[in-house]
Structure 1
Amino acid sequence: MGRGRLAELPPVRAVPAEQVADALAGTPTVVVLDDDPTGTQTIRDLPVLTRWSADDVDWALAQGTPAFFVLTNTRSLGPDDAAARTREVVRTCLDAARRAGVEVVFASRSDSTLRGHFPLETDVIADETGAPDAVVLAPAYTDAGRVTLDGVHWLRDGDELTPVAESEFAADATFGYRSSRLADWVAEKSGGAVTDVAEVRLDDLRAGPPTLPRAQVVVLDALVDDDLRAAVLAILAAERDGARYVYRVGPSFVRARVSQPEQPPIADDELRGAVGRGHGLVVVGSHVGRTSRQLEHLAARRDLARVEIDVPRVLDGDDGHLEHVASQVLERLGTSTTVLATSRTLVTGRDEAESLEIARRVSAALTGVTARVVAADPPAYVLAKGGITSSDVATVSLRADRAWVRGSLLPGIVSLWAPTSGPPLVVFAGNVGGDDALADVVDRLEAAACA
């Protein structure tokens, strides 16, 4: 498809968040099933669950927020396990909603670069809730430059656009794909089973209140949050008239759907009150090129300790290696910011299943070491780099069953979680931010922790 540039576009039609807030009165609570923790980057002051017992879901519903997140981490699972987990969460949430006398709708939040189990997860939600009128597909993440225009999903850098299928993300060993036009991507990922796809184009969104077309899947264009808020108003109007939707979305749709505007990062004084004292632990599992560059820039800017887990030794079952790594981390945290990373050479298997198994074993090693460190001497904060890494650190290392998302550390990216117990967790996706983003975030955190 090739690279492109933004041509002359219709002017943005302002749709303030307050207008969406007015339309939310009496609407269902949105349960956001997040296949890794990075869907929380755009929002603040919403609950997030990393486990989904009946008590946990009851607690989340009792907070009275327009939405809450349930971290399913299904992107780290094979298809059968991902389907089983999604089904379990949906059933638990439906039962809790019936007990509480409230109505819920489900959003399947996944990667803005199109990696994840689709249409599997929305199919499972539909099986449990009843066939929807449509699946709303809105993967845009406007803060990070992932936008949809003319039905095509792009990576935006200034005015230049790169079709997402020409990015490194499309070559993912587990979730790779060939199509940038979302209608074609739906057909590709469904094996040709879903071809009834309609597009809501930018012209429709900006000309006036749009009408959602009838189709199995409805694709939403979006360059800015006003576009998504315009679509949300149309969705809410249709739902009031009896339509039922399942949402398959990126982070920006969630912000629009709960009527939160784009917000500045957490202020320094708030950050000082949120983190502990001393130094922080940076846990890196992501292998995308962006993360590797960010690590290089962090090391160039700060005097920090780096401890590495040797992946081949992990795969060989060398437990003594992990004990030594944990001891090194604890020793170095006393005097400096410490990076715990896996070796940077990506090891993959012969097929999707073997690649996932390798990823799970490496993640278990990384989170196991982190858990030992946190139990022995909790750091001022834990920063987890990578979506699956963030999930496993939250659930395994910190056992953060319930938390509040407090906001971002950079505009629209990198979220701070306040677990109900344990150290604060910074969730930093592997595929967002410029080369200096990790260094900028660590600078802010260390300044707050050492104040």
Structure 2
Amino acid sequence: MKERIDKLTAYDAQLETLWDTERSTFTQKIIVLDDDPTGVQTVHGIPVYTDWSAETIQEMFEEPRQLVFLLTNSRAFSVEETTKVHTQIAERIAMAAKKTGKEFLVISRGDSTLRGHYPLETEVIKNTLEKNNAYKVDGEIIIPFFKEGGRETIDDVHYVIQNGKYVPAGETEFAKDRMFGFTKSNLKEYIAEKTQNAHPASSVLSVSLEELRAVNIEVIEKKLHQLENFQKLIVNAVTEEDLKVFTIALIRVMNQGKHFLFRTAASFTKVIGNISSKPYLTKNDVMHNETNAGGLIVVGSHVQKTTDQLNELKKLQTVEFIEFHCNLVIDAKKFAEEVERIQQKINEKVSEGTTVCVFTSRTRLDLGEGRQEEELALSVKISSAVTQFVANCQPQPAFVVAKGGITSSDVGTIGLAVKKAEVAGQIAPGIPVWQTGEESRFPGIPYIIFPGNVGEVETLRDVVEKLSHKE
């Protein structure tokens, strides 16, 4: 036992020495394009921007902090809109880099369960950066590991840990997503599937856990130097230390002039950004406004984990629950009456000091085969109504919690009208807190972004209890 502890101690000491040496040489601006607001679930003390005007992107480059996030919410976009937005962003990044003379890298932060516009987003970024003479992209690094969410990559297979069991990602409910579905759990095969074999599995390189645990930096460097013509490399990982070893090699290679794009989950952004770990936030850490008002919770996600967490939350007798019968959207008059009913109830209860939870009906809207465009249009109306519940809340609530990636993006950017927020940290594993800016609709309140696919059954209840507890 003592021998094992001594080995671990020696490994940790070696790794930290290497890390401190190499990380201090890395000065490129790190721009994270986040396809929903949950990507800040591992970091703190960094800014999040919610628009991509040329002025905002210029401000990002001038921001003294190295790591910045730009929320695109592209997981809610069509292919056409995603293409347009990423083209605009990459053009403006290239322009701002030339103006400031700063080197940069771009991380496309995506879902740790592999959903999203992949490979579209990174392909558009690559092509646009190259067209605008920013730099030639040698390769793409894929790292979906996300410790807090129980997503690990072992022997090139990506797993989602559910109830203590390792489930290959392709066998989870997330793989059956109507828009972003996939069948492969081996990431080499996943890439081949998603790129329609433009990048066959045999062409994809990988960094193994054995190489990482041996701190075999030279072997990893060699693989990175091999990448050309946007070739893919996947990184196995089950700890942040695995990512640190990889990032040491990565920094060495980038400092020699190689350029990469990154498609990763949230853990890599923390590591490459050199963000320290921080204790989970308490109520006193986030509640800075004196108020007698209640809080407001909106639940939009329909994944099973969210439904289970909602059912657990319903055990709290201090919370008022209001079901939003959103399928009434097919009848404009009834839908308008439903929206008005809920808004009146929200305002009444919040003003009384009661926390309110509005949740969408758990049955998904389904108009049948061939009517996806109609469904999308109606879904936009439902989402708009949910954001207006927040925007029209009177008085200002003590806090806002949004459950679900797309829901939380719309609530943040439309409901709360946030232009720039500060990430205060996490209130529970993988659950970030924004502190809203002065320009927002409700300045200075904590906004808790609760991913649909994160947390244990009781986590949502625990967070609400923490925020509501009288200290």
The 3 A distance-change label for structure 1 pair 427 and 236 is same
Q: Is the 8 A contact 2:22 2:248 kept in 1?
A: no
Alpha-carbon distance, 1:88 to partner: 1.2
Alignment correspondent of 1:199:
206
State the shift of 1:353 in Å. Answer: 4.8
Q: Write the distance in 1 (CA, Å) between the matches of 2:436 and 2:118.
A: 30
The reply on whether 1:344 has 2:362 as its aligned counterpart is yes
Q: Deviations over 1:84-108 (max 9, x none)?
A: 1111122223322332332221100
Asked if 1:183 is matched to 2:200, the reply is: no
Q: Which moved more, 1:337-346 or 1:126-135?
A: 126-135
Pairing 1:6-405 to 2, within 5 Å after superposition? 13-14=11-12, 15-16=15-16, 19=19, 23-130=23-130, 131-157=136-162, 160-195=165-200, 196-208=203-215, 209=217, 210-211=220-221, 212-213=223-224, 214-215=226-227, 216-273=231-288, 277-317=292-332, 318-333=335-350, 334-348=352-366, 350=369, 353=373, 355-373=375-393, 376-405=394-423
What is the Cα deviation at residue 157 of structure 1? 4.8
TM-superposed deviation, 1:21: 8.0
Identical counterparts, % of pairs: 32
Greater shift in the superposed pair: 311-320 or 61-70: 311-320
Runs of 5+ in structure 2 lacking a partner?
1-6, 131-135
Partner of 1:3: none
Secondary structure of the residue aligned to 1:300 is coil
CA distance in structure 2 between the aligned counterparts of 1:17 and 1:430, rounded to whole angstroms: 38
- Maintained 8 Å contact 1:402/1:420: yes
- Deviation of 1:355 (Å): 4.9
8 Å contact 2:156–2:234 — kept in the other structure?
Answer: yes
Q: Which amino acid aligns with 2:387?
A: T
Residue aligning to 2:452: 430
Give the greater-gyration-radius structure (CA).
2
Secondary structure, counterpart of 1:42 in structure 2: coil
Partner of 2:3: none
Give, in whole Å, the separation in 1 of the partners of 2:79 and 2:253.
Answer: 32
Q: 1:339 to 1:391 in 2, by over 3 A?
A: same
Q: Distance in 2 between matches of 1:348 and 1:188?
A: 27
Q: 2-side partners of 1:182 and 1:359: how far apart?
A: 31
How far, CA to CA, are the matches of 2:308 and 2:164 in structure 1?
23
Q: 2:4: which partner in 1?
A: none
Q: Which string of whole-angstrom CA distances, capped at 9 and with x for unpartnered residues, describes residues 50-89 of structure 1? A: 1122332333333311211110000001111111111112
Of residues 259-268 and 30-39 in structure 1, the stretch that sits farther from structure 2 once superposed is 259-268
Pair 94,24 (structure 1): closer, same or farther in 2 beyond 3 Å: farther
When residues 20 and 112 of structure 1 are mapped into structure 2, their CA distance, relative to the original with a 3 A threshold, is: farther
Q: Deviations over 1:409-435 (max 9, x none)?
A: 013x11110121223311110000000
Shift of 1:232: 1.2
Contact persistence 1:116–1:175 (CA under 8 A): yes
CA contact (8 A) 2:283 2:467 kept: no
What is the alpha-carbon distance in structure 1 between the residues aligned to residue 290 and residue 233 of structure 2? 42
Deviates more, 1:313-322 or 1:131-140: 313-322
What is the letter of the counterpart of residue 203 of structure 1?
A: E
Distance 1:302 1:41, change over 3 A: farther
Residue 166 of structure 1, CA deviation: 0.8
Q: Which moved further from structure 2: 51-60 or 434-443? A: 51-60
Contact map agreement 2:296 2:397 (CA 8 A) in 1:
yes
Q: Which has the higher contact order (CA 8 A, sep 6+)?
A: 1
Separation in 2, partners of 1:304, 1:48: 30
Q: 1:26 offset after TM fit, Å? A: 4.6
Q: Which amino acid aligns with 2:379?
A: A
Distance in 1 (CA, whole Å) between partners of 2:165 and 2:310 is 26
Deviation of the 1:368 alpha carbon: 2.1
The 3-state SS of whatever aligns with 2:314 is helix
Contact 2:287 2:446 in 1 (8 A): no
Q: Is the 8 A contact 2:83 2:124 kept in 1?
A: yes
Contact 1:284 1:384 survives alignment (8 Å):
yes
The answer to whether the 8 Å contact 1:323/1:369 transfers is no
The alpha-carbon deviation at position 340 of structure 1 amounts to: 1.3
**1:275 Cα deviation (Å)?**
8.1
Query: What SS class does the counterpart of residue 315 from structure 2 fall into?
Result: helix
What is the identity, as a one-letter code, of the residue corresponding to 2:114? Answer: L
Aligned-partner SS, 1:383: strand
* Residues 205-261 of structure 1: per-residue CA shift (max 9 Å, x gap): 111123234341100001000001111111111101111000000000100110123
Deviation of residue 401 (structure 1)? 0.7
CA apart distance, 1:276: 5.4
Go from structure 1 to structure 2 and tell me whether the alpha carbon gap of 1:18 and 1:399 turns closer, same or farther (over 3 Å shift). farther
Matching residue's letter, 1:415? P
Aligned residue pair count: 437
Query: Any conservation in 2 of the 1:17–1:259 contact (CA below 8 Å)?
Result: no
Residue 358 of structure 1: CA displacement? Answer: 4.1
- Paired position in structure 1 for 2:461: 439
Checking the alignment, whether the CA contact within 8 Å between 2:293 and 2:396 is kept in structure 1 is: no
**What amino acid maps onto 2:204 in structure 1?**
V
TM-score (norm 2): 0.88
Q: Distance in 2 between matches of 1:230 and 1:178?
A: 30
Higher alpha-carbon deviation: 176-185 or 52-61: 52-61
